[in-house]
Amino acid sequence: TGLKNREVYGTSGPRIQLWFDALAGDQRVPMGGQVSGTTAPQFEVTAIGAQAERPGCSDQTVQTWGADVVQNHCAGVCFNPGDERVGIDRVEVVRIRPQTSPTEQVGDLIDDPWKVIVNADRDESGKPTPVFTTQFSDPEFSEGQRDALYYVRAIQVPTDSVNGVPLQDDQGDFTVCPLYNLGDNAACMTKAGERAWSSPIFVDFIARP
């Protein structure tokens, strides 16, 4: 049902949870949905960070695959979630509008990101909360008088990731670590802001008669 209704989202790997809705009057339209009007609706985003990984791999994983396979395939880091969750650093909003004439440049109609909403709820060390809810709207929608779609990305604080950032050699060329022979190559483990991105919400401009 979710796929049929386009009420789905993807992640870069970690099990981040994401909700993206349009609040149109007394209706709550989820991601993948469509609304219409002379003004843009109020949008609401809620993101929950993935469970923070504990060091190493579980005993069951090592027993199943063997220590050598675990080390060479994933640098000794497995899905091994703990009780805490990773903080949500920010939400990025992407806006895309259709052409009104063939002469319009498509690139000028893609705002990526159009808006960045930083999670201001942080502890004394600057660590953001793992649950972040925010709202936004688009005051330019009614002025532009054209359809638009919006989707969001929820981005966690950076965590360790194999090949999270391409490696750069002395000549400035980028490469990635080997997929099946990581061994003890610490350079393969880099920080990356894992993310979840929603399906879009389509907003049609309907002029008053």
Instruction: For 2-38, write each residue's pLDDT tens digit.
Output: 777 778 999 998 999 999 999 988 889 999 999 999 9
Using alpha carbons, select from 27, 25, 30, 32 the residue that is nearest to residue 46: 30
Give me the pLDDT at residue 171, please: 67
Give me the pLDDT at residue 32, please: 95
- Rounded to the nearest 5°, which phi and psi values hold at 144? -75, -25
Using alpha carbons, select from 142, 149, 144 the residue that is nearest to residue 114: 149
Give me the pLDDT at residue 53, please: 86
Residue with tokens 């259709």: 98
Give me the pLDDT at residue 7, please: 85
Contact 137, 44 (CB under 8 A): no
**What residues have CB less than 8 Å from 149, skipping those under 6 apart?**
95, 96, 97, 200, 201, 202, 203
**Number of other residues whose CB lies within 10 A of the CB of residue 43:** 23
Q: Residues in the chain with pLDDT < 70?
A: 162-188, 207-209
The whole model's pTM is what?
Answer: 0.84
